[in-house]
């Protein structure tokens, strides 16, 4: 059935099966030779703009690359809160100073009883610092998205809360040590 349709299709088409005129091959080769002679006779004029355009493109590329490298090193693009605005710079300075103060207080309270708790808190602080580094990259990539800024501030608050909790637990340990439970008389 398929061969019948195929046969019908080719029968309906009119193919030109006539032979070319005598000397067709010779005329074709003559035209081919003439086109070769015409291209040989035309002198190739070298464009004077080519080298200048190449130099201009190289300079433009160098400026573009230098600009990108320079823009990545600009202080406003480093990705911390200080790069967002003056208020955020103050916020960042406040939080970092509080964190540094709390870390000094914790280090001053380090005793054999509190050492494990303090080391665990410092490990948690490192995790929060790693998370903050990721947020700094996100801030640059997102174009200072407010959600990323809020996450960065929350990260600072989590660090301060962690340090405050550790200081509270240290105070509890100290008070338990000094508290005398043997005051009852029998």
Residues 63, 68, 73, CA angle at the centre, nearest 5°? 125
Each residue's pLDDT tens digit in the chain (186 positions)?
566 777 777 776 666 677 777 888 888 888 888 887 776 555 555 566 667 667 777 777 777 777 655 555 444 456 677 778 888 888 888 888 888 998 888 888 888 888 888 888 889 989 989 998 898 888 888 887 888 888 888 898 999 899 899 889 888 888 877 765 555 555
Residues 115, 157, 136, CA angle at the centre, nearest 5°? 105
- Give whole-number Cα distances, 69 to 66, 102, 105, in Å: 5, 37, 41
Return d(Cα 102, Cα 126) in angstroms, integer: 15
3-class DSSP string for 115-148 = HHHHHHHHHHHHHHHHHHHHHHHHHHHHCCCHHH
Collapsing DSSP to helix, strand or coil, 13 comes out as coil
pLDDT at 76: 46
pLDDT at 79: 67
| Cβ atoms < 10 Å from Cβ of 118 | 18
pLDDT at 131: 92
On whether the pTM is more than 0.75, the answer is: no
pLDDT at 73: 47
């Amino acid at each position: 059935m398929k061969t019948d349709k195929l046969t019908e299709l080719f029968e309906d088409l009119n193919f030109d099966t006539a032979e070319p005129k005598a000397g067709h091959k010779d005329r074709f080769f003559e035209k081919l030779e003439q086109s070769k002679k015409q291209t040989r006779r035309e002198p190739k004029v070298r464009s004077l703009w080519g080298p200048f355009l190449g130099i201009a493109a190289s300079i433009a590329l160098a400026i573009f690359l230098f600009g990108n490298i320079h823009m990545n090193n600009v202080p406003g693009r480093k990705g911390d809160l200080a790069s967002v605005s003056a208020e955020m710079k103050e916020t960042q300075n406040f939080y970092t100073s509080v964190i540094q103060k709390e870390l000094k207080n914790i280090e001053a309270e380090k005793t054999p009883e509190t050492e494990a708790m303090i080391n665990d808190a410092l490990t948690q602080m490192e995790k929060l610092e790693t998370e903050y580094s990721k947020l700094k990259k996100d801030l640059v990539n997102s174009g200072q998205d407010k959600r990323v800024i809020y996450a960065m501030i929350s990260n600072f608050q989590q660090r301060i809360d962690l340090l405050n909790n550790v200081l509270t637990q240290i105070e509890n340990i100290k008070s338990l040590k000094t508290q005398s439970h043997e005051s009852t008389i029998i």
